[in-house]
Structure 1
Amino acid sequence: MKKSLIILNSILVLSVISCKKSTESGNKSVLKSNDNGAVLADNGEIDSTIHYETDVNGKKYLKTDYVYKATDGSLVKVVFNYEEKTMSVRSNNKTFILNKVEAKGNETTYEKMDMKATVKGDSLILDQGNNIIELVKTKI
């Protein structure tokens, strides 16, 4: 009886110890946030490229799609998917999906093949080979 009780207790202790998770492990695609609920960049600072909207009840939520305007007047729809760490750029019925490469406190970089996008505040700079397109967020 004592042997089975000792074995049962040791199995219980081992299962409790093995199920503990550290704060660094787990799902890596979950957005990190601080106590204020602000999303953090890869370096641990608040990611200022992520903007919040407030609903009628005063609750904050992430706004993930924006319309940007190029210097030539054309409009571009940009959708940020924070869970998948991607950004899609849609213009002239073509959509380009870029992966998040790096995030600093005030600047986020997305890349895919020869296309690179840098988001800093209300500006978005697309770099594709020799073409550099500067975009500014609109209030539409």
Structure 2
Amino acid sequence: MIKKVTVLILLFGIIIGCKQEGNKAVLKTPTTDTLILADNGKVDSTISYNIDVNGKKSLKTNFVYAATDGTLVKVVFNYDPKDYKVAITNNNKTFTLDKKLAKGNETIYEKDDMKVLVKGDSLIIHQGKNIIELVKTKI
């Protein structure tokens, strides 16, 4: 009889405890923060928050682009409203450019004599007299 009463009390305590506090093991993701708008004002599903170990959110997206000669280039877009940038890395060299203009589905980044035009899946780099065309890969 004592065992039955003890089991009932434990079950009753667990049921009330779960109802009051909820399941703390379930992680909740903020739904309002996940809607990120692209330059054209539409929701861009390719952009998402990256959260570092300190809990700081950043809006970055990594892509791999290929040049016409097959060379692969890593491109990181930073969509933080305070600091729109693109970083292009190849052969252990990284060039970081600031966003200057966005219209429709085109975005222009510039720094010194280097200019980058991003349009759809293509990225065109103008550096001095050199023009380098890159296309987003499916890697």
Q: TM-score range by the shorter chain?
A: 0.5 to 0.7
Q: Which residue of structure 1 lines up, in the alignment, with residue 68 of structure 2? A: 71
> What is the one-letter code of the residue matched to 2:97?
L
**Two-structure CA RMSD over aligned residues (Å):** 2.3
Aligned length: 94
Q: Which residue of structure 1 lines up, in the alignment, with residue 37 of structure 2? A: 39
Tell me, what secondary structure is at the counterpart of 1:96? strand
Q: What does the per-residue CA deviation read over 1:92-139, in whole Å, with 9 as the maximum and x for residues that have no partner? A: 110000000001121000000000000000000000001000000000
> What is the one-letter code of the residue matched to 2:123?
L
Unaligned runs of 5+ in 1: 1-36, 55-61
Q: Give the TM-score normalised by the residue count of structure 2.
A: 0.61
Give the 5 Å matches for 1:1-140. Answer: 37-41=35-39, 45-46=40-41, 52=46, 64-83=61-80, 84-140=83-139
Q: Return 62-71 or 128-137, whichever deviates more.
A: 62-71
Q: Give the TM-score normalised by the residue count of structure 1.
A: 0.60
Tell me, what secondary structure is at the counterpart of 1:139? coil
Query: d(CA) in 1 for partners of 2:106 and 2:119?
Result: 5
After TM superposition, where is structure 1 displaced by more than 4 Å over at least 4 residues in a row?
A: none
Instruction: Please say if residues 60 and 76 of structure 2, whose CA atoms lie closer than 8 Å, have aligned partners that are also in contact.
Output: no
Query: d(CA) in 1 for partners of 2:95 and 2:124?
Result: 14
Q: Percent identity, please.
A: 59
